[in-house]
Amino acid sequence: MWGSRRRRIVAGLTGCALLLAPLAWMWQASLVPRSYSVAEMGTPDLGGGAAHAHPDHRVAVPDLTEPGDGTPDVRVRLIARSDTIRLDSGQEMHGLTLNGTSPGPVIRAEVGQLVEVELFNESVTDGTTLHWHGVEVPNAMDGVAGVTQDAVPVGSTFTYRFRPPRAGTYWYHSHQVSHEQVPRGLIGALVVEPRGGLDSETTDLVALVHSYGGTRTVNGATGEIPVDATPGDRVRVRVINTGNGPISAWVSGTPFRLAAIDASDVHRPETVTDRHVQVTAGGRADLELVVPASGARVELSGPSLVLGPDSPAERRPEARLDPLTYGEPAPLGFDPERPDRRFDYAIGRRPAFVRGRPGLWWSINGHLYPDVPMFMVAEKDVVRVSITSRSDVHPMHLHGHRMVVLSRDGQPATGSPWWVDSLNVAPGETYEVAFVADNPGAWMFHCHHLGHAAEGLVAHLMYHGVAVPYRIGDGNVPE
């Protein structure tokens, strides 16, 4: 009897060992070093292009700066603090501010001007950075902790210098522990004006939408926000979505035009009514309207801007303006049908261990962080990417470049070129996008639902011949 019992115990222990051994191997394989370079992550994906295994010249990220010193045309000093944020509703939260406010100050510059921003970290204990969302800055100025710089510790300063190449609506935010620091308030708007300044006959407004502790605000204010506008005024409203999901924007009381998406003008936009505009997380939409005698509102999924007389609010129109067919075609400046490289970016989810933790994790082309694709390109390559979401909504953001949408679920784009740096990909959708690799460096290509990014939904676009001296970990936590 004892022998039979012992055989059962041995068989049970053997079964447990056989069951646990693969789990132990998966746990061990998911661990990452205390610090590592993005250049060591995953497997290089050449996209069908040349390998360039031995480039003639290597350049380090810190050397990818704005050429020449020069005297700045625009100089700003921003002081990052751990602070109390008080909303006009009376709500208070422990947050993060820039120069004592959140959002931080609106920075305005003209195309080609030299912008210098000195960031001083007074009391943000995890360190911080500033990323210039949508601006094609030199790689060393991109503000991603562990990729393009080290996080700025308390008591230290980092200076950003760049010349914005295109007029439009942008924003800036922390890219150190960004899933915490952005919601807590380390954000602000950047407006790049055309050379010579804006049209004096147009009233220019920033509408930065941000939620503090669940309360949605516009420029830090809640509810109905009156704007000094007179009937007959032409108004441009620059809507910036700093949240993790898409928002709707629409105009009540008068027709409007969608003048720009992600700092790229729409070609010949038509006037519309009874439509709402979806603004991607991280994305921007410029709305233009003429204030009627009865007044108008720009509705932002909660708060609203009241222009002129207090016109009544209207419910969100059911129909959504579709940028795929809006406006008129125009030349792209390159041929996306003859790409040098093609990449797939298929987003899924599966149970696994990541960094030693079990869970349901995001995957890219079936791979889990940090074993994710490294999309390799050479300067001047024409690049085509197929982005697919197999679960959840993913606002995909490419640093340092803008992409043009070619199709959605096989339907070709027929309107104005739809240029984006932040693209909302819904569950089951597939987008084909293209861009020219014209800004050397190591660039994040990630989901701008920052919680998803913190869970591993991050890949990188890497130029051949670029060396990354910074390391993730040991104080650098980009997401």
pLDDT of residue 332: 99
Under 8 Å between Cβ of 371 and 422: no
Cα 320-322-325 angle, rounded to 5 deg: 150
- Who wins on pLDDT, 362 or 5? 362
pLDDT of residue 304: 97
Q: How does pLDDT run across 42-96, given as a tens digit for each residue?
A: 889 999 988 765 555 689 999 999 887 789 999 999 999 999 999 999 999 999 9
Cα 147-392-207 angle, rounded to 5 deg: 70
CA gap 42, 460 in Å, rounded? 10
| Residue 53 CB contacts under 8 Å (≥ 6 apart), including other chains | none
**Tokens at residue 280, please?**
């991607």
pLDDT of residue 25: 40
**Tokens at residue 253, please?**
């009381």
- Coil, strand, or helix at residue 349? strand
CA gap 212, 184 in Å, rounded? 7
| Residue 470 CB contacts under 8 Å (≥ 6 apart), including other chains | 37, 61, 145, 146, 147, 148, 149, 150, 476
Residue labelled with tokens 């003008």: 265
41 pLDDT above the threshold of 90: no
Under 8 Å between Cβ of 159 and 121: no
167, containing H or E segment: none
- Coil, strand, or helix at residue 187? strand
354 pLDDT above the threshold of 90: no
405 pLDDT above the threshold of 70: yes
pLDDT of residue 32: 58
Distance of CA 326 to the CA centre of its chain: 23
Domain 67-193 homologous superfamily, CATH: Cupredoxins -  blue copper proteins (2.60.40.420)
**Tokens at residue 120, please?**
């001083």
Stretch 21-29: mean pLDDT: 46
Distance between the two ends of the chain, CA-based, in angstroms?
Answer: 60
Stretch 237-251: mean pLDDT: 99
What CA dihedral angle connects 439, 440, 443 and 448, to 10 degrees? 0
pLDDT of residue 2: 54
Q: What is the DSSP string of 32-70?
A: --SSB-GGGSS-EE-TTS----S-S--EEGGG---SS--
Stretch 470-474: mean pLDDT: 94
pLDDT of residue 424: 99
353 pLDDT above the threshold of 90: no
> Order of strands across the sheet with 458-463?
44-45, 374-377, 458-463, 442-447, 394-398, 422-425
**Tokens at residue 372, please?**
């994710």
The DSSP code for 399 is T
Domain 38-62+332-467 homologous superfamily, CATH: Cupredoxins -  blue copper proteins (2.60.40.420)
23 pLDDT above the threshold of 70: no
Return mean pLDDT, the chain: 93
Taking phi over 0 as left and psi of -120 to 50 as alpha, with beta for the rest, 369 belongs to: beta
Q: How does pLDDT run across 130-162, given as a tens digit for each residue?
A: 999 999 999 999 999 999 999 999 999 999 999
**Tokens at residue 424, please?**
């909302």
CATH, domain 202-307, list 2.60.40.420, 1.10.3720.10, 2.40.50.140, 3.30.230.10: 2.60.40.420
pLDDT of residue 26: 45
The DSSP code for 338 is S
pLDDT of residue 467: 97
Q: Largest Cα–Cα distance in the chain? A: 98
- Coil, strand, or helix at residue 373? coil
CA gap 86, 83 in Å, rounded? 10
| HEC-encoded secondary structure of 205-273 | EEEEEEEECCEEEECCECCEEEECCCCCCEEEEEEEECCCCCEEEEEECCCEEEEEECCEECCCCCCEC
pTM summary value: 0.93
Stretch 352-368: mean pLDDT: 83
Under 8 Å between Cβ of 162 and 291: no
pLDDT of residue 355: 65
Question: pLDDT tier at 28 (50, 70, 90 boundaries)?
Answer: very low
Q: Where are the domains of the chain?
A: 38-62+332-467, 67-193, 202-307
17 pLDDT above the threshold of 50: no
Instruction: Check if 38-62+332-467 and 202-307 are the same fold.
Output: yes
Question: pLDDT tier at 22 (50, 70, 90 boundaries)?
Answer: low
